[in-house]
Amino acid sequence: MSLTFLADVVLVMHFAVVLFVVGGLPAIPLGVKLGWLWVQGRLFRLTHLGAIAVITLQAWLGQHCPLTILETWFRVQAGEQSLYQVSFVQYWLETIMYFQAPLWIFAIVYTLFGLLVVLAWWRFPPKAMESKAL
């Protein structure tokens, strides 16, 4: 397995986390309206709240995401130096996912997003899920 491939795997995982955090918020009121039980479960809601809390804390502390650090390390170890010598997966996911702005902008945006997650928690509180026997 090449280091570039491992970097791409980390990038895909990172993108999945972004989709979970960003897509999870509108899924909550939509899911409540449509009766989706999984968006009302404590596991989903705690994981979603915890994810945005960690992201927000990292931004306020001026830290980069560990997945970004790991992906970069794999790419450097693979000898990738130029922006134009990247894989197809890396190019498109990074184009979609990464924005160029000072870290304080991200801290504010993540904080506002985190407050929306807390508001969704309050407005649409999670419910204890009943286990059903098969």
Domain spans of the chain, in order of start: 3-123
Q: What is the pLDDT of residues 72-85, one digit of tens each?
A: 888 889 887 644 45
Nearest 10 degrees: CA dihedral of 39, 43, 49, 55?
-120
DSSP state of 82: S
Q: Binning pLDDT at 50, 70 and 90, where does residue 27 land?
A: very high
- pLDDT tens for 83-122 read 445 654 577 777 777 777 788 888 999 999 999 999 999 9
Decide: helix, strand or coil at residue 101. Answer: coil
Which residues of the chain form beta strands (DSSP E)?
none
pTM above the 0.75 mark?
no
Maximal C-alpha separation, the chain: 55
